[in-house]
Amino acid sequence: MTANMLPFVKMHGIGNDFVIIGPREAIQRRDWASIARTTGDRHFGIGHDGLLLVEQLASLDALADFRMRMFNPDGSESEMCGNGIRCFAKYVYDSGLSRKKQLRIATGAGVQHVELHVAGDSVDSVTVDMGIPEFSPTKIPVDLPGDYIVNVPLTIGGQTFAISCVSMGNPHAVAFIDDVQTVPLEQIGPLVERHPWFPHRVNFEIVQRHSRRELTMRVWERGAGITLACGSGACAVMAVAHRQGKVDDIVTIHLPGGDLTLEWNGGDGVQMTGEAAYVFSGSWLPDPSREHD
């Protein structure tokens, strides 16, 4: 293998796909933002919604077992990713880095607790405690007055949305509409993401309510664009819907890539359960002419 080659594993959580870099490579001093941009290109690279670095923590007394860093395809670093952390946990267990069925994973949004559901000798699905939703505008952040941002009209791209905001360790703007398929998300999404209300940009979820136990959502992810799924986005939708009395404590959310089960009682952390799967593994050889695109 050429010395510059970077081994990786490609995984997905209900269609939200990631390139995972193991701990031996993750400790190297590399321009990970640039690598995320080049590997994320679906024509000239590997293609992914996020680059995940697996970092082993030195101390057995550490607050967490591992650290997860995530870089978006545009090179920006994200605080947290719900689908990504499920893939991360499956990678850690299946590769033998840990055989624990409960892990503490440090992220930019704090330490996340995950429970691994094992079938045979590999992880089948993962439940993640995604933490307590934060509705304070200053902590999301969103530059609007008030204690909570609930159904605030936002007219953008020729349409008006009733926006509710929440943080799941990263910022989210949620809008309930009659039919999620009618919104040109590829046009509206980037306008909402970079709207002046959101100083750190924002993830944008549009949601269709079917019943108190069933929702459908589409998402524009900050730094990634339209994706087939977003775990933190699904948790944000659950938090907003529950707070507004639209749903029960357990909900199935349908996303383009598959379904997630969300559980929240309005007080504790939001629990998210979903699958994680391998796609392929390989080694990536950087192209010096594109490495800083």
Total residue length of the chain: 293
Region of 151 (left: φ > 0; alpha: ψ -120 to 50; beta: rest) is left
3 class by beta-carbon count within 10 Å (0-12 exposed, 13-18 middle, 19+ buried): exposed
Q: Which of 81, 87, 165, 235 is catalytic?
A: 81
81 assigned to active site: yes
Q: Which of 87, 165, 230, 235 is catalytic?
A: 230
Return the closest-CA partner of residue 69 out of 85, 86, 58.
Answer: 85
DSSP H helices, the chain, are 23-26, 32-40, 82-94, 185-193, 231-243
Q: Are strands 203-211 and 258-263 parallel, antiparallel or unpaired?
A: unpaired
Task: Return the DSSP state at 97.
Answer: S
165 assigned to active site: no
> What are the residue numbers of the active site?
81, 230
